[in-house]
Chain A
Amino acid sequence: MLVAVAAAVKLILSALSPASIDLTKIIMLVASGQAPMGPWVALYPPLYNETAANINQLQAWSSMAPFGSNPNFAMLSLLFRLPVFLCDLATMIVLFWIGKKMKSSAEGRLMSLVWFLNPFSFFGVELLCLPDILCILLVSLSFLLLISERPLLSAAALGLGSFVKLFPIFLLPPLLMYMRLNGARRRSLLSVTFVGVLGLFGYLAWVLPYGFEYLVTPTPVTQLVSFVGGVANTVNSVTFGMFAYYCLQFIFMKKTGPLPMLLSALLAYYLFAVPGPQYLIWVLALMAVDIAFADHLKAWIVSSLLVAVFLQWFLVSSAFLTPSGYSFLMFPLAGPSLPSYSVAIGEFLDSRLVGIIIMPLVSSLTFALTLAYTAEQIRSWFSVPPTK
C-alpha cells in the first residue's frame, strides 16, 4: 500500500517537475550530434527520434515551467522519466530479495522502503533522470547474485553496469577478493575477471570513438575518469587513494561478508573521486541493505549523513534550480515578478553567511560523516566489536 502510494506520488511529480539541468544537457548533447551513443539512450524514449523537429520540441520542453498549459509537455516529462522510474522500482524489488535472502522478508521490506521512500533517491533518480539508476540496479542485482552464490552472474551484472557507466567496475577487485577468501578456484577467478573487464571494454568502445574527450570532460551520460588528467607529473589523489585502498583491503581483510567489502570500495571511490552530494545515490542502494542490520550509532550516522547531504545538495544547486527557472520543489527561483518567498530564498542562498559559514560547515559535516560511515564498513574487516 505504502509503495503504491509512493509510486503514484513519484509518477505524478515526475510528470509535473521541470527538466533537470542534467537532462537538458543530455538533450543538448544529442542536438549537437556529438553525443557518444551508448546503452544510456535506451532509457530515454523521446530521444529515439533524432529529427530536428523533435529535438527542437525537446529543447523547448526542457526550459518549460511546471504547471504549463500544454498537457503534452507533462506527458513528455513522464515519458522521459518512466523508464528511470521502472529501474527505481526494480531496484526496490531487488533490495527486497536481498533482504529476504540475507535474513527474512521483514528485512527485505525495510531495505526496499529505505530505498524507495527516501526523498534523496526520488531527487537523485526520477527528478535528475540520469542513466546512473541503471548502474545502481545492476550493482544491486550483482550483490543479490553474489549472496546467492552465483559469482559469474554477479560479475556479469557488474560488467553490464560498467558498460553503462564506469563506477561499478571499482567493485570488481573486492568481488575477486571476496571470492578468493571464500576459496574460489583460479579458473573461476579468471572468468569473473574476464566478464567484469568486458564491461569496461564495452564502455570504452562507445566512449573512445570521440578520442579522450569524454574521459576528461564530464557529461551526464559519461563518467569523468579521475585517474587521468590534472597537473602533469603530480600525484593524482584518486589513483593514489584507490590503489592504497585496494592494497589495504587486500592486506588486512581476513574474513568478512560481501557487503562491507563492496560498500567500502564504493564509498572510497565516492570520497576520492566524486564527493558531490548527487553522487551519493550510487551508494544508497547498498546503504539501504546495510541499514537493515545497523546498530544504534550506525543508524545515527546514516540518518545524519542523509540529512546533511540533502542540505548540501540544496545549497550547492541553488535550491534545486532547473533551466526553467523553477526549483524541483516547484517554486520559481528566477525570472520576472518573483513571489516574496522566492526572493527571500534567493537572497539567503546568495548571502555571505551561506557562502562562508553554512556551506563549509554542511559540506565538511557531510564529508566527515561519509568518512565515519566508511570507517564503519572498514571496521568490519578487522572484526573489531564496539566496546560499549
Chain B
Amino acid sequence: MQKIIAHWRKIIYGLLGLKLLAMLVLPIGGDFLYGWTYETGFVVRTLVAGKLPALSTYGVYIGIEMILAPFYWIWTKLPIQHPAVMSIVQHTAPAVSLGFLMEIPIILFDTATLVLLLRIVRHITNSEQKAIVAGLTWFGNPYNFYMLYFFGAMDIIPIAIFLLAIDLELEGRWFRCGIATMASGLLRLFAFAAYPFFIPLTKNNRNRINFILGSAIPVVFAIGLLYLSHDTLATVFNIPAQEFWLLEFLGFSVLGMQFVKWSVVLVILQLYVVARFWRAETNIVYLASVSLLALLLGATLYGGEAQHFLWVCPLLSACVAMHPEDAWIYALTFFTALISPTVNPFHPWTPEPRVLDTFLAGAFYAMKATYLLRLNLWSTSTRP
C-alpha cells in the first residue's frame, strides 16, 4: 500500500493515459454517450442558427447539453466528413473524432473531481496520505471507469460542481458554495436532496443568508435563459408530465399508499436523524453521502439507475480514506455495483432466464443500505 501511495503521481498519469486511449479506441455506441451526442447535435444547430435552445424542446438535460455543445461544434469544424450521428459508422475518422471530442468533458471533469477530492480529504483529515487514498480510489475505480468511458455518464459534470460546493463549504465560502450547489442541482436533481444537509453546517445567520443568496443566482440565471428562449415557468411545471421518468426519483409507494414515496420519506428521515443524533463536529462529506445514499435507496426498485450511483462514488472514496478500517464495505459495495443487473457490463450476454438478477440487485441494495447505516454510526454519538 505504501508503495502505491509513494508512486501515486505516476499511477495517476498512467490512468490518465489509459483513459485517453479508451476515448480513442472505444466506439461511440456507449449507451449514454450516443444519446448525449445525438441530442447535443440539435442544440448546436439551434445555437448556430442564432437562437437559444428551449427547455420545452430539448428537455431537462438542456444544461448539460449546452456544456457539451462547444465540443460538438468543434467537430463540425474539423476538415472531415460530418455524417448524421444516427448514420455514423464506427471506427471511421468522423466517429473516432466525435467520440473523442464528446468525451473530453468527461475526462476534464473526472480529473477535476480527483483534484477536488484530494483537496477535500486533505482539508478534513490533514493527511496527505488519506487524500491520496481518496484520489486513487476514485480515479482508479473500475466502476467509475466503466460508467464514464464505456457508458458515457455525463453526470460527472454536475458531480464535479457538487464537489466544488463541498470544497467551498470547507473553506467557509458560503456564497460560492450556494452557487455551486444550486448549479449542480439545476443540471441534475440529485444535489437538491443534499441541499438541506448544508444548512446545519452554516452555524450562523450570516453564512445561512450567504448560502441562500448564492443559491438564488443560478436560479435567476436559469429563469433568465428560460424567458430568453421564449419559454415560461409553466414549461418547468409541465416537465414531469412530459418526462415522466423523472418521477422515478420519488421512488416507489410506501405501504400501498399511492402518494407516499419512499425516497422522499427516506431523505426526510435522514435529515431528522442528522438533526437529532449527529455530532455537531461532523463534516459535509458524511452529510452529503448520507443524503445521496438515502435518495438512492428510495429511488426505483434497484435503488437508482446504473449511472445514478456514480453521484455518491467520489464521496464514498473520501469516506473510505477517512475510515480505512471499514474498507471492506467500500470494496463490497463497488463489487456488488459492478455485478448488479443495471450496471454489469456482461449483462446483455448472460443467458436467459436471468435467475440471478434479483439476487444481484438485492446484494447491491443491501450494501448501499449498510454503507448508509455505517455512515450514520460514524457520525452519531449514542453515549448517554
Contacts and interface: CB of A to CB of B under 8 A. Distances in A.
B276 A360 contact: no
Interface stretch (A11-19, A130-138, A334-342, A350-358): A350-358
A43 to B, nearest CB: 30
A368 B264 contact: yes
Contact of A353 (B237, B244, B255, B269): B237
Contacts of A299: none
A360 B261 contact: yes
A385 B384 contact: yes
Contacts of A365: 264, 268
Contact of B259 (A297, A364, A385): A364
* Residue among B237, B256, B279, B380 with most chain A CB within 10 A: B237
A357 B259 CA distance: 9
A317 to B, nearest CB: 13
A233 interface: no
Contact of B269 (A363, A371, A388): A371
A325 interface: no
A237 B259 contact: no
B224 interface: no
Contacts of B49: none
Contacts of A384: 277, 382, 384
Interface string A237-281: 100000000000000000000000000000000001001000000
A367 B272 contact: no
Nearest to A351: B237
B247 A356 contact: yes
A272 B277 CA distance: 25
A301 interface: yes
Nearest to B254: A367
A7 interface: no
Contacts of B241: 352-353, 356
Nearest to B270: A368
Size band of the A side of the interface? Answer: 20 to 34
A385 B237 CA distance: 43
Contact of A364 (B265, B276, B382): B265
Contacts of B272: 301, 368, 372, 375
Given A360-B260, A364-B265, 15 more contacts: A297-B275, A353-B238, A353-B241, A357-B240, A360-B250, A360-B261, A360-B264, A363-B259, A364-B259, A365-B264, A367-B260, A372-B269, A375-B272, A384-B277, A387-B278
Interface of B: 237-238, 240-241, 244, 247, 250, 254-257, 259-261, 264-266, 268-269, 272, 275-280, 380-384
Contacts of B247: 356-357, 360
Interface in A97-117: none
A368 B276 contact: no
Interface string A284-304: 000000000000010001000
10 contacts: A275-B257, A297-B275, A360-B260, A367-B257, A368-B268, A375-B269, A384-B382, A387-B380, A388-B279, A388-B280
A386 interface: yes
Chain A interface helix/strand/loop/mixed? helix
A369 B380 CA distance: 20
Contact of B383 (A237, A275, A356, A387): A387
B264 A361 contact: yes
Top 10 A-B pairs, shortest CB-CB distance:
A364-B264, A368-B268, A363-B259, A372-B272, A368-B265, A352-B241, A367-B260, A364-B261, A387-B381, A359-B259
A145 B279 CA distance: 40
Contacts of A388: 278-280
A383 B264 CA distance: 28
Contacts of A367: 254, 257, 260, 265
A379 B250 CA distance: 28
Interface string A315-356: 000000000000000000000000000000000000011001
A386 B274 CA distance: 11
A328 B384 CA distance: 49
Contacts of B276: 297, 376, 379, 386
A352 B279 contact: no
A275 B265 CA distance: 14
B250 A364 contact: yes
Contact of A356 (B240, B254, B257): B240
Nearest to B272: A372
Nearest to A301: B272
A364 B253 CA distance: 9
Contact of A363 (B244, B257, B280): B257
A57 B3 CA distance: 92
B260 A364 contact: yes
Contacts of A379: 276
A387 B279 contact: yes
Nearest to B236: A353
A186 to B, nearest CB: 33
A315 to B, nearest CB: 9
B254 to A, nearest CB: 7
A68 B383 CA distance: 64
A249 to B, nearest CB: 19
A23 B329 CA distance: 57
B85 to A, nearest CB: 32
Nearest to A308: B268
A301 B277 CA distance: 15
B195 to A, nearest CB: 14
Nearest to A388: B280
Contacts of A297: 275-276
Contacts of B250: 360-361, 364
Residue of A360, A364, A367, A369 with most chain B CB atoms under a 10 A cut-off: A364
A170 B277 CA distance: 30
B77 to A, nearest CB: 41
Nearest to A385: B384
Nearest to A356: B240
A375 B275 CA distance: 13
